[in-house]
Chain A
């Protein structure tokens, strides 16, 4: 199975900060990577697919980059509603796998 490893596991930030989360795949997955946000007690919400394409309605403060084995999610100008856990997910190789999550807290 493709192991997805996120770093950091948690981070503390302030309103207005620009933050980045890294996701590493144990083998190359091209750009077949998604980023998913989950707020406490809520359902997941998909943010990004194909490593850098935003889903409809997702604000442009979210951006993704990377290919192969290393990927980054960047959130510019962090707002209180961005307090959440973020997961990366690969869909290149069966079985499809998620990272362990990165908790963004204030």
Chain B
């Protein structure tokens, strides 16, 4: 059974940094692209970033480009999102999602339970 468990969320001041993690199990992690999708309070889903199985292909939404960095450690079956220069509008639940292929095709077949990031002074 696929399991995705996010961690690392919390309260951070504007301009601060946070690193999210997503521990994966139940599948061969290196064989699949992974993504981060976020949801602001009471709002819809927003794609944030994706990374291929080998880390060769990486994509970002314009809203986070230059501030967020996606990475993965296939030896630990863990996905990361380093978030710098955080803004109030980054406040959201961050979900990791498993893709259906090695390269990002953005067809999500499994989702984690999410971790809440709150950016506030």
List the interface of chain A (C-beta within 8 A of B): 34, 36, 38, 43-46, 49-50, 55-56, 87, 89, 91, 94-101
Q: How far is the CB of B67 from chain A (nearest CB, A)?
A: 15
| Cα distance, A101 to B106, chains bound together (Å) | 18
Please state if B44 and A91 are interface contacts (CB–CB under 8 Å).
no
Q: Is the interface of A mostly helix, strand, loop or mixed?
A: loop
Q: How far is the CB of A45 from chain B (nearest CB, A)?
A: 7
Please state if A99 and B44 are interface contacts (CB–CB under 8 Å).
yes
Q: How many residues of B contact A (CB 8 A)?
A: 21
Chain A residues with CB below 8 A from B107, complex form = 34, 46, 49-50, 91
Chain B residues with CB below 8 A from A100, complex form = 44
Q: Which residue of B lies closest to A34 (CB)?
A: B107
Please state if A95 and B108 are interface contacts (CB–CB under 8 Å).
no
Q: A38-B45, A89-B47 are in contact. List 5 more A-B contacts (CB 8 A).
A: A34-B107, A46-B107, A89-B45, A91-B107, A96-B47
